């Protein structure tokens, strides 16, 4: 039970990370915040994108750090620093101060995903890894789900600064159980890597067809995720004309459905694998099905009904949840165990590119077109591109294809 408790604790740590990196999206519709920093739509996209400028650059170094030193202390130091940076964001007075703090937040959060995935790879065998990964990554969904209504309440009652300060300080409490219960070393080697481990340099990652398919699919998946994390609250307020409090509820339900399905999708894939199904084909199948369901987001963009928009928001993000545990587990299944941290870092780089692109492109398209139809059409196209990448490239468990 200890390892299940610790993977749940890792999930809570990831929930704080996503809460801190996305809470700026809840103040983007706030007229007082917009006026204070003189923000245009492009400026709003820049602030939400800036986090990923530093986050992406340091992903593979963070993965190498975890591969060398383990999970406990790198993750503890990273969380302590990013909580302080998130708290300091509530004190920002100018656009440039806010921008620098977003860059620092990206730098300090780099460790969280490589550390979590490395810990899971070290402590869980293949037939349980999907469920463990689903629990871990559900934190990236239920964190914003819980934060959305809380953030809306704090903003309306106490102002936007209180949101950053309260949520930043709350994260520090996570350190107590982690430092008490996490071991300093690595867990037992429970599985044999599915791929040959003769060539384990960073360069070998990018000679793998599976890795490239995974990187393309990861970008497409996360383009939608970071559209939602940066612009979904503004979409509900500006396009659907709901109040800040209603925005928090609708956004919370969308993220909540995604979190629940992420756990169930990982568990279902593990169930199939435990009964003899091919691990790579099973996880790929769940990922493809999830992306196809996520593409129904374009139907929400087309409807004029608020209820319809909310329904398709929840449905499409539930599709993302179906893919979550399995698209992260795919390269961990197919690539060498000794490279688990670097594989996670490379995959997180693709996530980072999406995190940079989605807020900026959405802001530019919204400013150019005057609405959300064009940004949401891009998402629908990318979901289909992701399906194609997984079907055509992620096919055999080989490190390099020659």
- Percentage of residues in the chain with pLDDT exceeding 90? 32
Taking only the tens place, the pLDDT of each residue in 128-164 is 877 888 889 888 878 888 888 888 889 888 989 999 9
Domain that holds residue 209: 2-183+200-393
Mean pLDDT of the chain: 84
Residue pair 360/46 in contact by the 8 Å Cβ criterion = yes
Mean local confidence (pLDDT), 84-93: 94
| CA–CA dist 322, 40 (Å, integer) | 35
- Residue 189 placed within a domain: no
Q: Work out the pLDDT band at 166, boundaries 50, 70, 90.
A: very high
> Could you read off the pLDDT of 260-276 as tens digits, one per residue?
888 888 889 889 988 88
Per residue in 286-331, pLDDT (tens digit) is: 999 999 999 998 888 888 888 888 888 889 989 998 998 788 777 7
Tokens 């860059």, residue located? 103
The 3 state secondary structure assigned to 362-377 is: HHHHHHHHCCCHHHHH
> Residue 377 has what pLDDT?
92
Of 75-79, 166-170, 344-348, 392-396, the range with the lowest mean pLDDT is 344-348
Say what the pLDDT of residue 203 is.
Answer: 65
Confidence of residue 175 (pLDDT cuts 50, 70, 90): very high
Number of domains composing the chain: 1
CB-CB neighbours of 194 under 10 Å: 17
The model's pTM is: 0.70
Q: Which two tokens stand for residue 53?
A: 């400028």
Q: How confident is the model at residue 20 (pLDDT cuts 50, 70, 90)?
A: very high
Total Cβ atoms within 10 A of residue 1: 5
Q: Which of 99-113, 131-145, 236-250, 328-342 has the highest mean pLDDT?
A: 99-113
pLDDT higher than 70, residue 185: no
Average confidence (pLDDT) over 352-366: 88
> Where residue 122 sits, what CATH number does that domain have?
1.20.1250.20
Any domain includes 27: yes
Which of 59-63, 203-207, 236-240 is least confident? 203-207
pLDDT of residue 248: 75
Residue 398 belongs to a domain = no
Residue 188 has pLDDT above 80, yes or no: no
CB 318 within 8 A of CB 255: no
Asked whether residue 399 is assigned to any structural domain, the reply reads no
Q: Specify the pLDDT at position 301.
A: 81
Residue 402 lies in a domain: no
193 belongs to a structural domain: no
Task: Evaluate whether residue 206 is within a structural domain.
Answer: yes
351-364 mean pLDDT: 87
Q: What is the pLDDT of residue 162?
A: 93
Is a pLDDT exceeding 50 seen at residue 73? yes
CB atoms within 10 A of CB 154: 22
Percent of the chain at pLDDT > 70 equals 90
Q: Among candidates 385, 267, 278, which has minimal Cα distance to 326? A: 267
Inter-residue contact 79 to 24 (CB < 8 Å):
no
The verdict on residue 195 lying in a domain is no
Cα(111)–Cα(133) distance, integer angstroms: 16
Residue 246: count other Cβ atoms within 10 Å of its Cβ: 17
The per-residue pLDDT for 105 is 96
pLDDT for the residue numbered 193:
37
Q: If pLDDT is split at 50, 70 and 90, which confidence band does 190 have?
A: very low
């Amino acid at each position: 039970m200890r390892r299940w408790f610790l993977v749940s604790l890792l999930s809570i740590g990831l929930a704080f990370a996503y809460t801190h990196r996305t809470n700026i999206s809840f103040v983007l519709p706030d007229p007082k915040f917009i006026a204070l920093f003189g923000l245009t739509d492009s400026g709003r996209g820049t602030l939400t994108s800036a986090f990923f400028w530093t986050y992406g650059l340091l992903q593979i170094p963070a993965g190498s750090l975890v591969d060398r030193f383990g999970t406990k202390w790198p993750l503890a130091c990273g969380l302590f620093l990013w909580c302080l940076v998130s708290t300091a964001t509530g004190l920002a007075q100018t656009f440039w101060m806010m921008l620098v703090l977003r860059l620092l937040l990206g730098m300090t959060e780099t460790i969280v995903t490589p550390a979590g995935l490395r810990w899971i790879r070290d402590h869980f065998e293949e037939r349980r890894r999907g469920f463990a990964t689903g629990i871990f990554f559900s934190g990236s969904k239920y964190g914003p789900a819980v934060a959305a209504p809380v953030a809306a309440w704090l903003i309306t009652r106490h102002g936007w600064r209180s949101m950053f300060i309260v949520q930043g300080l709350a994260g520090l409490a996570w350190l107590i159980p982690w430092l008490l219960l996490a071991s300093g070393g690595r867990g037992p080697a429970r599985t044999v890597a599915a791929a040959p481990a003769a060539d384990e340099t960073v360069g070998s990652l990018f000679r793998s067809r599976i890795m490239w398919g995974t990187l393309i699919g990861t970008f497409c998946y996360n383009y939608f995720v970071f559209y939602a994390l940066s612009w979904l609250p503004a979409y509900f307020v500006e396009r659907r004309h709901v109040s800040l409090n209603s925005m928090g509820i609708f956004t919370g339900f969308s993220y909540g459905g995604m979190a629940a399905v992420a756990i169930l999708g990982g568990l279902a894939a593990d169930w199939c694998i435990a009964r003899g199904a091919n691990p790579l084909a099973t996880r790929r199948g769940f990922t493809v099905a999830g992306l196809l369901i996520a593409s129904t987001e374009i139907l929400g963009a087309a409807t004029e009904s608020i209820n319809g928009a909310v329904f398709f928001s929840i449905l499409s993000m539930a599709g993302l949840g179906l893919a979550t545990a399995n698209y992260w587990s795919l390269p961990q299944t197919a690539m060498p165990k000794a490279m688990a941290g670097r594989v996670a870092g490379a995959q997180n780089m693709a996530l980072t590119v999406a995190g940079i692109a989605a807020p900026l492109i959405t802001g530019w398209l919204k400013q150019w077109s005057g609405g959300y139809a064009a940004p949401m059409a891009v998402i629908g196209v990318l979901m289909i591109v992701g399906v194609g990448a997984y079907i055509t490239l992620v096919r055999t468990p080989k490190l390099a294809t020659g």
